[in-house]
Structure 1
Amino acid sequence: MANHKSAEKRIRQNARRNEINRSNRSRLRTQIKKLRAAIAGHDKAGSSELLTPTVSIIDKMVNKGILHKNTAARYKSRLTKHVAEIQ
């Protein structure tokens, strides 16, 4: 248990940030899963339509500190490559 006012405040801040980070991470993972499902179903139109918002969310997560920039670049590269491969 926290013994100082500043420690109690830090606990509250950490809890709040934890919820925000969890929400953002969940949103990112859901979007990537939707795109991967479209790719797996060989849905050219659907996957092309989902690619732009997915890349946008990935970039936003880098700015928020949820993803490392190299990890984001790898995700974007691989997803774009898979979408381009669909005939």
Structure 2
Amino acid sequence: MANTKSAKKAARQTVRRTAVNKTRRSRMRSSVRTVEEAIASGNKEAARAALKEAEPVMARTAQKGILHRKTASRKVSRLAKRISAMGGA
């Protein structure tokens, strides 16, 4: 347990920050899941729309330091590649 006043404050901040980061990470994962479900369903237009929604969420997540920026970029790139490889409309 924290002994000093500053350590106690740091512990409180960590709890708050962890909660915020969990929410942001969850939102990012949900948006990625939406894109992957659209890809799995074979609907290219829905997949494109979902990626358009997910990309800024992932960029924001990276900007906040929850996800490395290159990891976010790589994920967006791979999703876009999978969408472009889809057949149909």
TM-score (structure 1 length as normaliser) = 0.94
Give the residue type in structure 2 aligned to 1:81: K
Identity %: 38
2-structure distance, mates of 1:45, 1:52: 11
- Give the superposed CA RMSD: 0.9
- Structure 1 unaligned runs (5+)? none
1:37 equivalenced with 2:7 (yes/no): no
1-structure distance, mates of 2:69, 2:63: 9
Deviates more, 1:11-20 or 1:70-79: 70-79
Which residue of the partner structure matches residue 8 of structure 1?
8
2-structure distance, mates of 1:82, 1:55: 14
Q: How many residues align?
A: 87
Q: How far 1:61 sits from its partner (Å)?
A: 0.8
- Greater than 6 Å deviation, 4+ residue runs: none
1-structure distance, mates of 2:38, 2:79: 11
Which residue of the partner structure matches residue 76 of structure 1?
76
Q: How far 1:5 sits from its partner (Å)?
A: 1.0
1-structure distance, mates of 2:82, 2:9: 46
Which residue of the partner structure matches residue 22 of structure 1?
22
Give the residue type in structure 1 aligned to 2:77: S
TM-score (structure 2 length as normaliser) = 0.92
Q: How far 1:56 sits from its partner (Å)?
A: 0.8
- Structure 2 unaligned runs (5+)? none
Give the residue type in structure 2 aligned to 1:18: T
